[in-house]
Amino acid sequence: MTIPMTANARAGGPLPATVALLALLVASSPLAAEDCHEHHPKTPAEQTQGAPRTEHLGAMLIPDPVLYDQDGNEVHFYSDLVAGRVVAMNFIFTTCTTICPPMGANFGKLQEIMGDRVGKDFEMISVSVDPAVDTPQRLNAWAKKFGRQPGWTLVTGSKPEVDKLLKALKVFTPDKTDHSPILLLGDDAHNHWTRTYGLAPPAKLAEMIDGMTLERLADTSALAKANTTGGTR
């Protein structure tokens, strides 16, 4: 919002009281707060009220680059980690000291909440946005801080391939420090993708994942029932 300046203000004099008050109100408004850099997350207390803000993305065309997981194993991103699955995906780099450690801790807590369902009912994926630095060894050491277990896969690779993937997922930023605390939740089988806040309470994220997995179970049950009914005719 632009506040018109009086001749007195343009000349370097003090602002009239009404203009100064208006400037103060604009600076303290929620819209002004939204313009703050996304790399500085809201406090946990601000995120515990209600469900996290989400954006429904619908279908996504996800490429299948050859990348490397935290153990140095070659993986085809789409076919090995995403195809036909429910996934939770965040974006980190190991030298990040602001939003990435809390996002790692969030994934660790989400993994704890979901228990042995991780790797069965759904997959957790962390994609490095700094592949030139983040070797598999660095990713492995970073993930160990948060208690990573099987079912949570971290990936890196050549920068051109990773950049292409990030662009397809609509999370690419030219400067790694500008990346936002984004979490993608997807049910690839139903082409249902949602973008939400990566630092939302893990319990809320678990509820969203439960919704996706229950939908899949309902569809599977309905299909099995239809097949059974059709076979008895």
| Domain CATH number, residue 60 | 3.40.30.10
Q: What would the pLDDT profile of 85-143 be if each residue is shown by its tens digit?
A: 999 999 999 999 999 999 999 999 999 999 999 999 999 999 999 999 999 999 999 99
Residue-level length of the chain: 233
Residue 9 lies in a domain: no
Q: What is the DSSP letter of 110?
A: H
Structure tokens, 222: 């309905």
**Residue 119 backbone class (left: φ over 0; alpha: ψ -120 to 50; beta: rest):** left
What is the distance between the alpha carbons of residues 202 and 47, in angstroms, rounded to a whole number?
A: 11
Residue 79 lies in a domain: yes
Helix (H/G/I), strand (E/B), else coil: 162:
helix
How many structural domains compose the chain?
A: 1
Residue 27 lies in a domain: no
Phi and psi at residue 215, in whole multiples of 5°? Answer: -60, -40
What is the distance between the alpha carbons of residues 191 and 175, in angstroms, rounded to a whole number?
A: 29
Residue 45 lies in a domain: no
What is the distance between the alpha carbons of residues 86 and 224, in angstroms, rounded to a whole number?
A: 20
Residue 176 lies in a domain: yes
pLDDT of residue 57: 86
What lies within 8 Å, CB to CB, of 163 at 6+ separation is: 172
The neighbour count for residue 23, using CB atoms within 10 Å, is 13
Q: CA 102, 28, 171: angle at the middle one, nearest 5?
A: 40
Residue 157 lies in a domain: yes
Residue 122 lies in a domain: yes
Residue 11 lies in a domain: no
Q: What would the pLDDT profile of 9-40 be if each residue is shown by its tens digit?
A: 444 444 444 434 334 433 443 333 333 334 44
What is the value of pTM for the model shown? 0.73
Give helix 202-231 / helix 100-114 axis angle, nearest 10°: 40
What is the distance between the alpha carbons of residues 46 and 191, in angstroms, rounded to a whole number?
A: 31
Which domain covers residue 114, as residue numbers? 52-223
What is the distance between the alpha carbons of residues 194 and 159, in angstroms, rounded to a whole number?
A: 25
Average pLDDT for the chain: 81
